[in-house]
Amino acid sequence: ILNVEQSPQSLHVQEGDSTNFTCSFPSSNFYALHWYRWETAKSPEALFVMTLNGDEKKKGRISATLNTKEGYSYLYIKGSQPEDSATYLCAFRENNNDMRFGAGTRLTVKP
């Protein structure tokens, strides 16, 4: 993988469902992996910065895991709420260089 890829592109779930999405990135020269939440008409908000293989981070109902050897990170949302509706972006940093963003996963949570 040369670029940062996120899947799925979009996701529609019902309130209360749990969901997860994937960020794939180059597995060489890893420095850090960032997750952001971007609500419409607002600023992208930092969720996690992950730096070590095997890292697991948690913030309320949202958690993330990191596998740097195979080049992927998962973001999980437990018990989705309408306010979780947003685009979730991941960004890969190689050797402390610029962040390379994926195209994002657009999540819609229906009440």
Partner 1 sequence: EAGVAQSPRYKIIEKRQSVAFWCNPISGHATLYWYQQILGQGPKLLIQFQNNGVVDDSQLPKDRFSAERLKGVDSTLKIQPAKLEDSAVYLCASSLRDEQYFGPGTRLTVT
Q: Footprint of partner 1 on this chain (CB under 8 A)?
A: 4, 32, 34, 36, 41-46, 49, 89, 91, 98-104
Residue (15 or 45) nearer to partner 1, CB = 45
CA distance 106 to 98: 23
Minimum distance from CB of 21 to partner 1 (Å)? 14
Minimum distance from CB of 82 to partner 1 (Å)? 21
Minimum distance from CB of 37 to partner 1 (Å)? 11
Dihedrals phi, psi of 98, to nearest 5 degrees: -60, 155
Contacts of 56 (CB under 8 A, 6+ apart): 63, 64, 65, 66
Q: How many CB atoms lie within 10 A of CB 8?
A: 11
Residue (47 or 77) nearer to partner 1, CB = 47
